[in-house]
Amino acid sequence: MGYGVKVDVRGDFALFTRPELKAERVSYDLITPSAARGVLEAVFWHPGLKWIVDEIRVLSPIKFTTVRRNEVSSKVKARVMWQAMANGGRPPYLATPKDIMQRASLLLTDVHYVITAHFEMTPQAAAGDNPGKFSEMFRRRLAKGQHYHQPYLGCREFPAQLRPCENEVSLPIPEELRGEKDLGFMLYDMDYSDKTRIRPQFFRAVLRDGVLDLRGVEVYE
């Protein structure tokens, strides 16, 4: 049995990167199911529950903008860090003036979604845990604006503003989103069942009157 929630999510910018266009980052047309799950987990996460996103409703027109950002072209490898910790001496570092580079990103602007989701109990739940307790904890934290970490829209520099969805009946549909729109293949989630072979999962995203229905979608690997 699932226990449902509805969350209003807004932000000035968002970047849900297409994995096939990683160098110059290009966003999907809307938030991915895994990113939506991450927003919910920022409010309330517990090993005794598992969030499942049922529906994403788009409440603002899909608009893009291009920005250029300064980034670094390399990163310090974990193996090098472990060696520095084990052997002592000066730790490795990145010299930004030497590694700096500019990259263009195609971002979403003025995003507004309503995420409909439910959670299911997992075997990691303690004896005193129950769905009613978890549901009330989530709703209380959401109403008070409490988070384990700042919810974000694809990248940490693009924070999300969250609040309970209280006006479900009067949710508007942007005129340009009426009808059916095929958005192509979109990232659904990452399969961590085999830790030695983490696999991405994709699905065919179809937006109907501004609603992405994720119930019973067929997932491809």
pLDDT on residue 89? 65
pLDDT band at residue 112, thresholds of 50, 70 and 90?
very high
Span 3-69+104-220: which CATH code? 3.30.70.2660
Q: Can you state the angle between helices 33-43 and 131-144, rounded to 10 degrees? A: 90
Query: What would the mean pLDDT of 25-43 be, rounded to a whole number?
Result: 96
C-beta separation of 68 from 103 below 8 A: yes
Q: How many CB atoms lie within 10 A of CB 140?
A: 11
Supply the pTM of this predicted model.
Answer: 0.86
pLDDT band at residue 73, thresholds of 50, 70 and 90?
confident
Query: What would the mean pLDDT of 155-171 be, rounded to a whole number?
Result: 83
Query: What would the mean pLDDT of 107-131 be, rounded to a whole number?
Result: 93
Residue 144's identity, in one-letter code, is K
Q: How confident is the prediction for the chain on average, in pLDDT?
A: 89
**Residues ≥6 apart with Cβ < 8 Å to 121:** 48, 49, 50, 129, 131
pLDDT on residue 1? 42
Q: For 145, what's the count of Cα atoms within 13 Å in the CB-facing half-sphere? A: 2
C-beta separation of 122 from 48 below 8 A: yes
